Amino acid sequence: MRLSTLPSSFARWGLAGLALGTLALLSGCDYNWWRMDGHQSTIKVAGPVARSQLEVFYVTCWVTLVIFILVGGVLAYATWKFRARTAAEEKAVPPEQGHGNPLIEVGLIGASVLALVIIAIPTLKGIFYTYDVPEDRKADLYEITATGYQWWFKFEYPSEQIAGAGALTTGNELVIPANRPVRINVRGADVIHSFWVPKLAGKVDMIPNRANFLWLEADQPGYYWGQCAEYCGDSHAVMRFRVVALGPKDFNDWLSQQTAPARNVAAPKLADSNAPKAQFAALRTFKQNETGISDKFDVAPLDAWKAKQFPEKGENPALIAQGKALFSTKACVSCHEVRGHGAVGISGPNLTHIGARSTLAAGVIENNPEQLQRWIHNPGAVKPGNKMAKGYVDNNIKLTAEDEVALVAYLQSLK
């Protein structure tokens, strides 16, 4: 088709629409789209595995950009140069068309092969590098097992065995040592999920009955956003998690706090002995925002997370004791474990130190008293169809406002 016969206003509006649409999409993805950064950016990465994957992405981009410019340039040149200039040319019979030119054809095949080789070299290198922790880093390796459930994540630390309780188990917030290669053994409990922390590494599926793994490393201490990347049912879009990377001392302090049984605020002496390490004392004054959206913080998210490691000010032991009792009588114990408090359920996230997490319900809402109350009041309103909401119906769980306040005080005390 000749250029002059293109309905030009259609083409112009089409292009403008495409550009606007792309902008709208990008800005919807992230408020930082112009810097290509954001919580889940695969462009501004924070670890060697994601960096290696980014390199492959860039090589592919550059090669295709060159192809685009060459092919687009030839097309634009030919369209312009041979356009119909006059009404007579417009009506003229097109000149005889050429068919086949061995030199051009062989040249194009050669160029394509070259382009593929340029892409293949870093790709193959990347595949080997990202597959498993490099030999020379194996001595430093830390291993964690991550299991996907509808719609939350369980994290187990096989190297932290607790007498009578097995490996240290947490949920929805994966705490890792920074600057060390971490191998994540991924498992699926019900349907296929996928483990993805865009700034640290590409996704790997969590498949029931099929052991798989990936490795990642965080360059420095930080707070990273992850999520399930495989459609897994009603609440798939709100199946998220966080990765908290800590320096060696903070990580060890965190481990010793987590391996301790649940805090007991009702007995002041025990409370003292179980109090979390004071390593984050300077951050106690942190004030959380009230939006209820867990990815918007007034302060650096890692600092916000650290502030959660402390007992809240003005704890009320009587109210907490009341909440603890309700936790057993309202069937919460049948699905949740609170190690040391007699709760042994395994179908929901381990809540032994739930008060020390920065988010609730698999990284969906901020962990503060208002949001926690909102969650236990009606979990189905936060995450459609989730298993706890179903449990409420099956077990006919009814909570009064007073029950909710007591349960919130109890759960927040579990640091």
Running DSSP on this structure, what letter comes out for residue 362? T
CA distance 176 to 131: 19
Binding site partner of 228, from ligand HEC, Cu ion, none, Cβ cut-off 5-8 A by kind: Cu ion
Least CB distance to Cu ion at residue 249 (A): 34
Binding site partner of 321, from Cu ion, ligand HEC, none, Cβ cut-off 5-8 A by kind: none
Is position 386 an interface residue for ligand HEC (rule: CB under 6 A)?
Answer: yes
Pick from 156, 244, 148, 131: nearest CA to 194: 148
Least CB distance to ligand HEC at residue 365 (A): 8
Is position 232 an interface residue for Cu ion (rule: CB under 5 A)?
Answer: yes
55 by DSSP, 3-state: which? Answer: helix
Of 144, 232, 332, 338, the residue at the interface with ligand HEC (CB under 6 A) is 332
Binders of ligand HEC among residues 286 to 325 (CB under 6 A) are none
The sheet with strand 212-216 has its strands ordered as: 166-171, 152-162, 142-149, 182-188, 212-216
CA distance 168 to 142: 14
Q: Is the CB of 46 or the CB of 407 nearer to ligand HEC?
A: 407
Q: Is the CB of 219 or the CB of 234 nearer to Cu ion?
A: 234
Binders of ligand HEC among residues 190 to 249 (CB under 6 A) are 235
Binding site partner of 362, from ligand HEC, Cu ion, none, Cβ cut-off 5-8 A by kind: ligand HEC
Relative to beta strand 222-228, strand 193-197 is antiparallel
Of 175, 239, 307, 406, the residue at the interface with Cu ion (CB under 5 A) is 239
Binders of ligand HEC among residues 11 to 40 (CB under 6 A) are none
Of 189, 192, 271, 397, the residue at the interface with ligand HEC (CB under 6 A) is 397
Burial, 357: exposed, middle or buried (Cβ in 10 Å; 0-12, 13-18, 19+)?
Answer: buried
Burial, 91: exposed, middle or buried (Cβ in 10 Å; 0-12, 13-18, 19+)?
Answer: exposed
Binders of ligand HEC among residues 116 to 175 (CB under 6 A) are 151-152, 171-172
Of 411, 412, 414, 415, the residue at the interface with ligand HEC (CB under 6 A) is 411
Of 48, 202, 226, 391, the residue at the interface with ligand HEC (CB under 6 A) is 391
Is position 186 an interface residue for Cu ion (rule: CB under 5 A)?
Answer: no
Please report where in the chains the tokens 């190297």 appear, as a residue: 159
CA distance 226 to 129: 22
Tell me the DSSP string of 95-114: PPPP---HHHHHHHHHHHHH
CA distance 314 to 308: 15
Inter-residue contact 35 to 98 (CB < 8 Å): no
Binding positions for Cu ion, rule: CB under 5 A: 193, 228, 232, 239
Binding positions for ligand HEC, rule: CB under 6 A: 151-152, 171-172, 235, 327, 330-332, 334-336, 347-349, 351, 354, 360-362, 376, 383, 386-388, 391, 395, 397, 407, 411
